[in-house]
Amino acid sequence: MELPASHTEDSRPRRWQPGMALRVAIGFAAVALTVVIANLSTQQSVREAREKVRELLVQHEPLVRATESLAAAVSMYERAVIDQSESSLAGPQTVKAAAQRMTDAAKEYEQAASRFTELDSPAPLNAELSDLVAAGDELLRSSNARRTRVRDYWRRFDALETSLNAPQAKAVRFAGAVFASEKLMDLSRNLAEVREQVSAAMGVSSPRSAQSIIASENAFRSRLQQNAAELARLHGQPWLDQVRNNFNAVVAGRRAVFASIETFNEQSMLFRDQSAEISGKVVTQLVEPARRALADADRLAVRASDRADSQLSWASGITLALLLVIAFATVTGVTAPVRRLTEATRRLAGGAVRTRVLRGGVRELDTLAEAFNEMAEQLQQAQNAVRAHQLELEARVAERTQELNHLAHHDPLTDLPNRRHLLAHLEDAIDRARLRNSRIALLFIDLDNFKTINDSMGHAFGDRVLQAVSERLRMNSLFSRSFCARLGGDEFTVVCEEVNQLGDVERLSRSVLEEFQRSLSVHGRELRISVSVGACVFPDHASDSHALLRAADSALFSAKELGRNCWSLYAPRLLEAAASRFKVEQALRRAVERNEFELLYQPEVCFESLETHTVEALLRWRQPDGNVVSPADFFAVAEQTGLIADISDWALRTAIQTAALWHKGPWPKARVAVNISSQQLISSSFVTRLQSLLQQYELPAQCLEIELTENVLQTGANTVAALKRLRELGISIALDDFGTGYSSLTSLERLPLTRVKIDRSLVTTIDTGGRSPAIVRSIIGLCHSLGLQVTAEGVERPTQLGVLLTDRGVQVQGYLVSRPINAATVPVFIAEGRAHLEQLMIAAPPPLPEGDTNTTRLRTLRAATGRGARAARTPADEK
């Protein structure tokens, strides 16, 4: 490859050029020679400075160290004596060691000063040091005396507290509390105040709180004198004399302590002053002269060192100049080739991969230029390879982008368009329909009971079913020009354009239902499924995409409610119903958070014993505006949204808590019946939860009865197992609303029931003739033969009660007996219920003759009660 004209090599033979190593070696040899010469001239000055420093170290420094050691020993002795006298942190051995060190330091100083004749003879300090040691010993003796008096004072104080608190140990105890004399408690508080003040005063070096302590002592003495008569009467004169003597001893001890503290403080100040005076003399008379002599010697050493530094500076300057010359020569031999390399590198970085460097210069740079040219050649080859790879990568990115765009608008499982694609297509279809003034049909398709397929066959099989459904929608000839999409889960959507009339929507919906009447083949299995279809039409039912989706969803919900495997066309009432359900759902969620629910209780009475055996807990929703909503108005929404679990658990816990209060209070035989939802019963933790609530509120199991409707009992073997566990705990189980719904005699045989409650629909017509009386009597006879108790619900008229009174062992519940009442009114009803039930028995007319001569004893009892209602009742009659 040809180079630019400026980079062609010179054809003339090049002269010899030394290498980089040789040039550096020459430079370093010159530098080494200069350094040797400078070193020889500097050694003489260094020897002179060394002699001065040796003289400084041998003669002056020992004297300075001796004076400083003496000053430090004096200070250490003072600190040891102060620490021992004030806090006993330093022991006696420490003080003795500090005194010995001070004596040794004085001797060392005398020896050092004797060898140094230039100093003036200092005044002797041995006598003053001996006086300082004597003062320290006296201070320590005073400190020991102070501590002894302090310990004696607190011993007396403890004796005073012991004698003062002795009567409290014998005070009367009642209900876990101790009652003592109020005067004695006041004295104890005054004494505690004295203790606090004395403790605070002893914590410092001088008693600055003496006046407040004396005032507190006088207050104690005054209070003791004022209450002497009463204290002597309560606790005895010997005890009072003992307290006085102990108090006087405490006051005397306190005075002795403060006197010893004052003596100690005076001696401490004298010792400190004496120590400061000696320390000052040591500094002024010994340390400072020695340091001045040391400073003079140091100046001489500095002068010698300065001369050596000056000679070294000259030598360094010469060496530096020589280095500069060598560096300049080396740089000029290197910079030209480097500039060529730099320019070539810049051009190579700019993309000119054909650039090459002219070789030449020192051997190392010539080798570097050769390596650069090889690198440029390889870089050119790599660039060609990168360009080829880039083209391949761009093709792959374009392919992957197309795949991602498909995934963004299609369901990965069924490969049908997803919700985003559906919304975009629906918007475009609406725009086209507006331009053509045509209709659009939107169908929502939902698989019936798809959860059962997932639960029984597994989710993988369920995914295969969804794929088979999507494939069938694609293959349907009616939808060949339609747009099919999967919304999610088991919901599919079909958008049909150019719908001429509403009848076409019905034809499309029915074709979907017929299409899925044929079995699906999934993994070799023939599977029959059904679908529900909700349909709406643009612009008849909605004018935008989101409104159409809501309308179709409302129609689908209606089809589900109609029994599945059918279709429903949108009507405004469906959306209103959905909005109403949503409103109720949101209100229910707020009600759960705000605790807006309450329980009312309706008695179940027995006219044979004239007693109330059970009350049924009835749930009510009291809204913020004061309206009360019955469960029939919100129970279905609560079950659909799953809120029924929280509501039912609250009702169960509240009923058990209320029954426990009755059981422990006004109604020992309390018994409450609670309705249980199907979701609660099939929960694996329901029985455990119920057992823990009974233990928490200490309610016996026989005080609780669980009421279940017949549709709840259709949940299978798990339900039967849960009911048997409840019976093992001793909880009663009642079958509510018997006679409607899924009534089955098999349920009475296989379920562990204790009670059957006849539905109000049978009781309503029991007094109007027809077959109801015979049906009710048959149910009662059947239940009695099975050992089950019977309750008739919905008794509202005396004539109904009259018919029921002809049978024994039937409990009655209804508005005739009592409307639902709150928890506070239940004990009142229990107490006054007998008279009320007697009046109802009197007012109940006998049933019409039916040709049955087997009159029961209860009817006779009712007649007897009617004849003797006005008569006086004896205790025997009452029993």
Distance CA 833, CA 277 (A): 106
Residue 708 dihedral angles phi and psi, to the nearest 5°: -125, 135
How high is the pLDDT of residue 4? 45
Distance CA 850, CA 839 (A): 25
How high is the pLDDT of residue 538? 87
- What integer is the mean pLDDT of 854-865? 44
Q: What is the CA radius of gyration of the chain?
A: 56
- pLDDT class for 580, splitting at 50, 70, 90? low
- Token pair 């991602």 is at which residue? 404
Q: Which ranges of 642-742 would DSSP assign to H, the alpha helix?
A: 644-664, 678-682, 686-697, 717-729
- What integer is the mean pLDDT of 684-696? 89
pTM score = 0.44
Asked if residue 705 has pLDDT above 90, the reply is: yes
Asked if residue 341 has pLDDT above 90, the reply is: no
Distance CA 651, CA 560 (A): 30
Which of 650, 642, 641, 645 is CA-nearest to residue 621? 650
How high is the pLDDT of residue 698? 92
pLDDT digits (tens, 9 = 90+) for 723-745: 889 999 999 999 888 877 555 67
Distance CA 549, CA 426 (A): 10
pLDDT digits (tens, 9 = 90+) for 187-210: 888 888 888 877 777 755 444 567
Q: Percentage of the chain surpassing pLDDT 90?
A: 12
Beta-carbon-side half-sphere exposure of residue 734 (alpha carbons within 13 Å): 28
Contact 243, 227 (CB under 8 A): no
- pLDDT class for 850, splitting at 50, 70, 90? low
Supply the DSSP string of 783-801, one letter for each residue.
Answer: HHHTT-EEEE----SHHHH
Asked if residue 582 has pLDDT above 80, the reply is: no
Average pLDDT of the residues of the chain? 77
Lowest mean pLDDT among 200-214, 260-274, 389-403, 445-459: 200-214
- What integer is the mean pLDDT of 660-679? 90
Which of 632, 513, 495 is CA-nearest to residue 564? 513
Distances (CA, A) of 362 to 12, 330, 743: 17, 10, 112
How high is the pLDDT of residue 176? 41
Which of 79, 409, 93 is CA-nearest to residue 275? 79
pLDDT digits (tens, 9 = 90+) for 755-795: 999 988 888 888 887 788 888 898 899 899 988 999 999 99
Asked if residue 57 has pLDDT above 70, the reply is: no
Report the chain's terminal Cα–Cα distance, integer Å: 130
How high is the pLDDT of residue 602? 94
Distances (CA, A) of 638 to 601, 624, 632, 771: 22, 19, 10, 36
- What integer is the mean pLDDT of 354-364? 72
Neighbouring C-beta atoms of residue 677, cutoff 10 Å: 21
How high is the pLDDT of residue 131? 76
How high is the pLDDT of residue 869? 38
- What integer is the mean pLDDT of 803-820? 91
CB proximity list for 775: less than 8 A, separation 6 or greater:
739, 762
Distances (CA, A) of 435 to 430, 438, 441, 495, 542: 9, 8, 16, 17, 16
- The residue type of 462 is G
Asked if residue 527 has pLDDT above 60, the reply is: yes
Q: Which two tokens stand for residue 870?
A: 């006005």
Distance CA 781, CA 788 (A): 10
3-state secondary structure of 492: strand
Distance CA 73, CA 105 (A): 7
How high is the pLDDT of residue 695? 93
Q: Which two tokens stand for residue 606?
A: 């027995």
Asked if residue 604 has pLDDT above 90, the reply is: yes
- pLDDT class for 279, splitting at 50, 70, 90? confident
How high is the pLDDT of residue 171? 58
CB proximity list for 603: less than 8 A, separation 6 or greater:
612, 614, 615, 813, 817, 818, 821, 826, 829, 833
Q: Which long-range contacts (CB under 8 A, 24 or more apart) does 737-746 make?
A: 737/709, 737/710, 737/793, 738/710, 738/779, 739/775, 739/779, 740/710, 741/709, 741/710, 741/711, 742/710, 742/711, 742/713, 742/714, 743/710, 744/710, 745/782
H/E run at residue 531? strand 531-538
How high is the pLDDT of residue 328? 72
How high is the pLDDT of residue 239? 85
CB environment 474-507: b (16+ within 10 A), e (fewer)? eebeebeebbbbbbeebbbbbbbbebeeeeebee
Which of 591, 658, 687 is CA-nearest to residue 631? 591
Asked if residue 139 has pLDDT above 90, the reply is: no
How high is the pLDDT of residue 681? 78
Q: Which two tokens stand for residue 716?
A: 């299978």
Q: Percentage of the chain surpassing pLDDT 70?
A: 78
How high is the pLDDT of residue 873? 37
Distance CA 238, CA 230 (A): 13
Count of all residues that appear for the chain in the document:
879
Asked if residue 376 has pLDDT above 90, the reply is: no
- What integer is the mean pLDDT of 52-68? 67
Q: Which two tokens stand for residue 733?
A: 């189980």
Distance CA 292, CA 119 (A): 10
Angle (CA) 187-188-194 rounded to 5° is 90
- pLDDT class for 704, splitting at 50, 70, 90? very high
- pLDDT class for 502, splitting at 50, 70, 90? confident
Q: State CA 520 to chain mean position distance.
A: 50
Distance CA 676, CA 387 (A): 75
Contact 34, 322 (CB under 8 A): yes
